[in-house]
Structure 1
């Protein structure tokens, strides 16, 4: 099979570099082949065509199931985490029907009902942090994001059940916190259960204990049969497909794992990057605080959500430090031409969101953090695509963006923070995502009062 711009490097070395240093791997490759190249990395038949030209990505993602099909079997990397019945693993009509069942749970009206919950969780978590002591921001945003997910998705609030779920989910996610531990996902020969003290054996047991909690919650919810609950689990349990069928326990479990792992880990990382980048660029922070101050002491969540500069800061954070690197893979269904290259049936492609976001022809001075670019220009869904695109676009996008804006606004409005490290924070692999290598070390230096309150206090005195 003739493949476009095959990288001239031993396959084993490519696979190792892809796992240990994916950014370096992609940036080296794109210098040689700017728009399209073929990588020899683990999975995907061991050959994967990377595409980072927006129009070509649009063609791939909008011709789904015609010229280019999204096949769940090529997401086998995720199977140990999400199971066989996750949206990630389904194809064709099965994927379409499942997406129709899940999508209403993330409707905009429902997001608005979560606004006060997100702010209350944020305030409570940050209130517990000591002043003038270094903490890891990503651990804190992970705690916030996990509590939001548990309450919005599971409908599980504070208590013993919540603590057990938090503990088990965090243990599973932390299994792949570094490039080296992430290698267990990319090299199947490492996936050996050699007992509870072996890495994969520990993962299997942690997953089993989390499954027991999830299935127990599903059974309890079925017995309760409360039609007034509005959490996403309850909505999924009450939804029916075109044939009138409800989701099975295993389908519910796999979809919950998808929402939990894809939702809280990625959002936590995006919020940590937001805190880091705003404090690394004082002029951005100053402008953002001035905008937040215009809303007064108790702003409505939707007023926060609609702030233009906050939106620009969040968008630039997701562009500059995308959490996800690639779209889910597509398979060529019939011979087709793309960017001047003939592709045969069976060729596996993906869009590189990371490389699209680094294109100088779309984002001049792409290596600089400049939120203003999102005020000056409207980008197409294939130029700015932190949540993927097409029929496989992330379902949790609305909740993730809403949460990111509210959490950052709540923190920045109430606290003065400082970065604790002089060395720049860099991105490195965390499972199938990118996250801050040191987790963003910060400290609280004081409490902050919005400008209007400060002016009022001065007048009264």
Structure 2
């Protein structure tokens, strides 16, 4: 086997360096070793690739390089043992198809107005002149949208409990205490509900029980006219023609909701930061949005070119998913001139691909115009991964980003409270804004010919 070069630093120290400054760490590794590098994890070589031609090889060499569900076992606690991340082969392909039908076409269009309504409802609760954490507010919006689209729930005691548990799991996993303790040798042990790991498992068990109860109840009261993902799964059959079990239906619900909440919420928080950090970007966006008039059709919003470019640039400069899901070399294969043996793990490094100067001149600068001037291949711009493990909700995430941003920007005059640059912080798969993007509502915007008083409300 001919492995690419890589750092000889002990793995535990590399992890610490990555956790402290993920982007700085990856920039330094790229500068020293180039766009293909080996990081050893005990005796397993993990090869990171940020060259578009190399990433294309990873995604298309499907006989030699396999996207095994077992490689995602670390996520099973949160996404279930039968979630789409853990599945392989035809079963994985079949379940992906079931889930993705809700994120395309007429279904996606039908929920556009609801996204705008939810955004306005939650933003209207912000008091004029009172600072708020944009990340948490936006995550509230994206979580509500996710639960409605995936489960068809929008009110009731069970909805409130499920929403609370999803939010609590994400918030606790991003807390300083959890991040510090889980880095210690005993930090991943379940020492009961009062230990960090034990508490997360307790929350996950409660969530699983509530989701199972909803699946069970909905199966008993099956309604073929409903258009949410849960209803699709209840009426679906597996590859042998049998109905999916309640446990599998429950597990398949988890990944789409977590993705809708956390990945979409993070991307939107970064969007608000960049748009208000660079006044010229905001002004150009408002000019484009105002041309649509008051209360435009959601499909007119998502077609706006500059809004699309801004969303793409957000996903380029600080991608919410830093790496593709891992692939395993199962038979000898040549990747970028290196002969890799079975057992080698391959990762596409999304962040470093998006930082290539040959693709994105001045990559540290936020420049939406680059997406108006050039169309990038799926191996050059891949915010949602690629190949068999592309994020099932990628198209919906962009759709949601555009509508939430358009609703907020067209109706509210916001400002950043802290003028210092926002720093990224890594948690799980996500790089979220470290301070959460502290903002305040200065006023409501008025459209031409509209007379509307300020709405001052308490949180």
Same-fold call, TM cutoff 0.5: yes
Question: Do structure 1's residue 336 and structure 2's residue 329 form an aligned pair?
Answer: no
Summarize the alignment of residues 368-407 of structure 1 with structure 2, pairs less than 5 Å apart: 368-407=365-404
CA distance in 1 between partners of 2:282 and 2:297 (Å): 21
CA distance in 2 between partners of 1:123 and 1:134 (Å): 18
Q: Deviations over 1:305-326 (max 9, x none)?
A: 0000000000001101110100
Question: Do structure 1's residue 258 and structure 2's residue 246 form an aligned pair?
Answer: no
Query: Which of 410, 424, 428 pairs up with 1:427?
Result: 424
Deviating beyond 4 angstroms after TM superposition, the runs of 4 or more aligned structure 1 residues are 182-189
> Structure 1 pair 103/185, CA: closer, same or farther in 2 (3 Å)?
farther
CA distance in 1 between partners of 2:239 and 2:194 (Å): 46
> Structure 1 pair 15/348, CA: closer, same or farther in 2 (3 Å)?
same
> Structure 1 pair 148/184, CA: closer, same or farther in 2 (3 Å)?
farther
CA distance in 2 between partners of 1:443 and 1:99 (Å): 40
CA distance in 1 between partners of 2:172 and 2:85 (Å): 20
CA distance in 2 between partners of 1:160 and 1:236 (Å): 23
Counterpart in the other structure of 1:459: none
Quick check: 12-21 or 244-253, which moved more?
12-21
Question: Do structure 1's residue 61 and structure 2's residue 59 form an aligned pair?
Answer: yes
Question: Please, which runs of 5 or more residues in structure 2 have no aligned partner?
Answer: 452-459
Counterpart in the other structure of 1:38: 38
CA distance in 2 between partners of 1:188 and 1:295 (Å): 56
Counterpart in the other structure of 1:170: 167
Counterpart in the other structure of 2:295: 298
| SS, match of residue 173 in structure 2 | coil
Q: Deviations over 1:69-125 (max 9, x none)?
A: 111111122121112111111122221222222222222221001011100000000
Quick check: 148-157 or 118-127, which moved more?
148-157
> Structure 1 pair 191/10, CA: closer, same or farther in 2 (3 Å)?
closer
Retained in 1: the 8 A contact 2:129–2:441?
A: yes
CA distance in 1 between partners of 2:39 and 2:342 (Å): 17
Counterpart in the other structure of 1:19: 19
Retained in 1: the 8 A contact 2:329–2:343?
A: yes
CA distance in 2 between partners of 1:27 and 1:266 (Å): 22
Retained in 1: the 8 A contact 2:91–2:239?
A: no
CA distance in 2 between partners of 1:264 and 1:142 (Å): 6
> Structure 1 pair 342/178, CA: closer, same or farther in 2 (3 Å)?
farther
Counterpart in the other structure of 2:9: 9
Counterpart in the other structure of 1:153: 150
Retained in 2: the 8 A contact 1:18–1:41?
A: no
Question: Do structure 1's residue 282 and structure 2's residue 287 form an aligned pair?
Answer: no
CA distance in 2 between partners of 1:255 and 1:186 (Å): 29
Paired residues, what number?
452
Shift, 1:352, TM fit: 0.5
Retained in 2: the 8 A contact 1:175–1:181?
A: yes
Question: Please, which runs of 5 or more residues in structure 1 have no aligned partner?
Answer: 456-461
Retained in 2: the 8 A contact 1:22–1:429?
A: yes
Q: Deviations over 1:311-348 (max 9, x none)?
A: 00000011011101000111112222222212112211
TM-score normalised to structure 1 length: 0.94
Shift, 1:32, TM fit: 0.8
CA distance in 2 between partners of 1:2 and 1:25 (Å): 24
| SS, match of residue 331 in structure 1 | strand
Retained in 2: the 8 A contact 1:20–1:180?
A: no
CA distance in 2 between partners of 1:185 and 1:50 (Å): 25
Question: Do structure 1's residue 192 and structure 2's residue 189 form an aligned pair?
Answer: yes
Counterpart in the other structure of 1:272: 269
TM-score normalised to structure 2 length: 0.94
